[in-house]
Amino acid sequence: MDEVDAAARRKQVGAKAREKLDALEALLQQGEILIGAPEALRERASELADALIEAQVAQRLRATSLNELRGVVGKGVRFGKLEAAGYRTVADVRSKPVSSLLAVQGVGENSAKAIATAAAQVARQFRQDAVIRFDVAQRPGRDTKLLGSLVKLRAAEQAAKRLRPDVERLRDEAAPLLVEARRAGSKFRMFFAGKAAKNAALAALRRIEALLAGPGVAALRREIASAETAVAAAGSRADEVWRSYENSAADINSLLATLSGARRADDTEAAHGYASSDLTRKIQAVPLDTSHLTATLRGYQVFGAQYAITQQRVILGDEMGLGKTVQALAAAAHLAANGQTLFLVVCPASVLVNWINEIDKHTVLKAQQLYGSGRDAAAETWARQGGVAVTTYTTLGRLRLPKVRLSMVIVDEAHYVKNPEAQRSQAVLAVVRQAERALFLTGTPMENRVEEFRNLVGYLQPGVAAKVRPLDALGGARAFRRAVAPVYLRRNQEDVLRELPERLEMDDWVQFTDADERNYRRAVSSGNYMAMRRAAFAGGKGRSAKLERLLEIVEESAASGWKVIVFSYFLDVLDCVLDAVRPVAFGPLTGSSTPRQKQDLVDSFSRHDGHAVLLSQVEAGGVGLNIQAASVVIIAEPQWKPSTEEQAIARAHRMGQLRKVHVHRLMAKDSVDERIREILEGKTRLFDAYARKSSAKESDARAVDTDWHSEEAAKHQIIEGERRRLGLGRVQD
């Protein structure tokens, strides 16, 4: 450092130096506060969850007659004396100390202690049974408060995950500089310091100035400011809290399940697929790295991901709706966080788009579609850059995959390769051999298909496959799962029932087939809005992506014995589905059906033993009917009014429904389905924003019924937008 430079630096000591040091420390503190925020917010949310559960317990105790304790404490206890003294419910005795019970004439010490102990046992059982269900219809204050806390916690966790790497990197770089430069903040200390110490302090100060002026710190300042704003706003408005829940119920329910107040023991034998205690300990010994995952996992999903990682070549056979996809992605994200780079998903064409969406939604990994004319070039890019490649069974056999070692191959709907002689089975076997790990996904129960199961295991662990015997299935599903636990993990809804919401909603995105695309272009070219909406079914069986996905859902439902309702606005769509699902179809239930005909059809469907499919026009069957026999709802195309879909779903999702209701919305990428979804989401935001500004209009929704979001205007916008996108020009009036 020359003398001129040193003189200039000396002018920076004292107050100016302290200003720089304080600025850097303040930035680090802001970052640390944001990173640490989830811990306090989680504690607060747990307290609110505890309070909700205690309120449930108290309500049940008040509703439970004292007489119910007779079966718990046995004979000889003087209940009559307590009842005569005004003790009517379990809550009455639970809230009093034993001394109060002893004060009742005729109640001895043994009776008082036995009753108090029994009441405590009942309270513990009620607490164990308690499950938090958010009431979307009534929106009670306690629910809103807990939801607000969860929404804020979710925002804070997302912010902390984004900020942590940059804040920690800056802290590691800045910490020694701050120590060294501290002397420069005091002219007195610098005056008495030796030359070497002065130069070291000034050099550290210079590096701090460079840090503060650099693009990295500038970007971090913006990130922190944005995160502070987002976390502060999250959960602050009741209407936005409930909207967040409606849009992200699965994520928020998953977050709720991780709280100490709401968490239930999930280390049961069933939730672990009846694996032995030794195998369970081995699996759980691998902590799951979620740094590359953006989803919140439920306990059984964490175990599923750990299982795939630890056992390496396995089948995940969870029942439909339990999140096999996110468990597979969690396993891939864990491996990616530990340096693995190449992951391949093989799936039916009908769910390819869904996989791309799920990868983008739940992980930070790059999704690469290996499908269509550019598939080989995309494969080369993926091999160089890494990420999760997604291809179809049909494409895999024609795909020129680079000769690289795959970190993991994920095979969705693995029962598609049950025949080892089939070409697609051979193609799958080739990539399985190329992979360090392989995960097969299938919701089809394997205990009833031992030969198919043995074939699937043969791809993964031939030695285990040779030991699988039909005898293993004779003892029932539980015995079968125990016997094959090292290679097969299956959980049913009842195994993890506590952790599931009452309604499981899935958007099933599909890519048009060539036939779909031709039908759609014709409809757009002619400006026929209704034909555009049903073009995805016009090709019929074997040529329709939506119908193919619908049949997969029906097949999986049939394997579980579930009943299905298919709703569509269009009769010809229902006729197409009817032809494909005979002979288990009932209906269609249409607008021309009389009330008696509708009820008779529903009754016949409900009485049918086992799996069946009811077909209904969405407006004909969506109102006034109770169809609790069905636990799977398929909506063939988006409806213009969200309330139409809600009313249809409510036919099955209502009091008396004994199972979780699975709702599948079939939607085609790059089509009118996407445009309707976009407009409806915008309409909701516009209405909410407008209504908040105008209390005079809150009593009449027509006050905001502008041309922008009227149905006819929107149809015209959609048609013109699709014509432009497809290069077809304007519709001639």
Specify which of 94-108, 423-437, 669-683 reaches the highest per-range mean pLDDT: 423-437
Tens digit of pLDDT for each residue in 36-52? 999 999 999 999 999 99
Q: Helix (H, G, I), strand (E, B), or coil: what is residue 274? A: coil
Q: Domain 503-686: which topology?
A: Rossmann fold (3.40.50)
Name the pLDDT band for 268 (thresholds 50, 70, 90): low
Cα 442 from Cα 429, distance rounded (Å): 16
Specify which of 270-274, 283-287, 417-421, 502-506 reaches the highest per-range mean pLDDT: 283-287
Query: Do 57-129 and 268-495 agree at the fold level?
Result: no
- Look up the pTM and report it: 0.65
- Average pLDDT of the chain, as a whole number: 84
Token digits for 711? 């149905």
N- to C-terminal Cα separation, the chain: 78
Cα 437 from Cα 410, distance rounded (Å): 9
**Helix residue spans in 386-488 (DSSP H):** 393-396, 423-433, 450-460, 462-465, 471-474, 477-483
Tens digit of pLDDT for each residue in 88-102? 898 998 888 888 888
Tens digit of pLDDT for each residue in 532-589? 999 999 877 778 999 999 999 999 999 888 999 999 999 999 999 999 998 889 989 9
* CB-CB neighbours of 148 under 10 Å: 22
Residue 497 has pLDDT above 60, yes or no: no
Instruction: Tell which phi-psi region holds residue 312, choosing left (phi > 0), alpha (psi between -120 and 50) or beta.
Output: left
* Percentage, residues of the chain above pLDDT 90: 42
Instruction: Tell which phi-psi region holds residue 343, choosing left (phi > 0), alpha (psi between -120 and 50) or beta.
Output: beta
Specify which of 58-62, 202-206, 646-650 reaches the highest per-range mean pLDDT: 58-62
Cα 294 from Cα 360, distance rounded (Å): 9
Q: What pLDDT was estimated at residue 266?
A: 46
Buried b (16+ CB within 10 A) or exposed e, 567-604: bbbbbebbebbbebbeeebbbbbbeebeeeebeebbee
Which stretch of 208-212, 343-347, 434-438 has the lowest confidence by average pLDDT? 208-212
| Residue showing tokens 């059984």 | 300
The backbone torsions φ and ψ at residue 648, rounded to the nearest 5 degrees and listed phi first, read -65, -45
Tens digit of pLDDT for each residue in 54-70? 998 999 999 988 888 87
Q: Summarize the confidence of residues 491-502 as an average pLDDT.
A: 66
Residue 103 has pLDDT above 70, yes or no: yes
Residues 52 and 256 sit within 8 Å (Cβ to Cβ): no
Name the pLDDT band for 701 (thresholds 50, 70, 90): very low
Tens digit of pLDDT for each residue in 349-381? 878 888 998 999 899 999 999 998 899 999 999
- Strand order of the β-sheet with 613-617 is 503-510, 661-668, 630-635, 563-568, 613-617, 585-589
Instruction: Identify the architecture of domain 268-495 in CATH.
Output: 3-Layer(aba) Sandwich (3.40)
Residues 537 and 635 sit within 8 Å (Cβ to Cβ): no
Name the pLDDT band for 731 (thresholds 50, 70, 90): low
The number of C-alpha atoms within 13 Å of 162 and in the hemisphere containing its C-beta is 18
Please state which of the four CATH numbers 1.10.150, 1.10.3470, 3.30.70, 1.20.120 is assigned to the domain occupying 57-129.
Answer: 1.10.150
* CB-CB neighbours of 213 under 10 Å: 9
Domain residue ranges in the chain: 12-52+136-247, 57-129, 268-495, 503-686
Cα 284 from Cα 304, distance rounded (Å): 10
In angstroms and rounded to an integer, the radius of gyration of the C-alpha atoms of the chain is 31
* Percentage, residues of the chain above pLDDT 70: 87
* CB-CB neighbours of 626 under 10 Å: 15
The residue ranking higher by pLDDT, 354 or 137, is 354
Q: What pLDDT was estimated at residue 202?
A: 81
Q: CA separation (Å) from 594 to 296, 573, 591, 598, 599?
A: 47, 21, 8, 6, 9
Q: Which of 565, 546, 554 is nearest to 668 (CA)?
A: 546
Q: Which of 198, 197, 201, 199 is nearest to 178 (CA)?
A: 201
For Cα atoms 511, 514, 515, give the angle at the middle one, nearest 5 degrees: 105
Residue 684 has pLDDT above 50, yes or no: no
Q: CA separation (Å) from 466 to 96, 311, 461, 462, 622?
A: 63, 18, 9, 6, 51
Name the pLDDT band for 255 (thresholds 50, 70, 90): confident
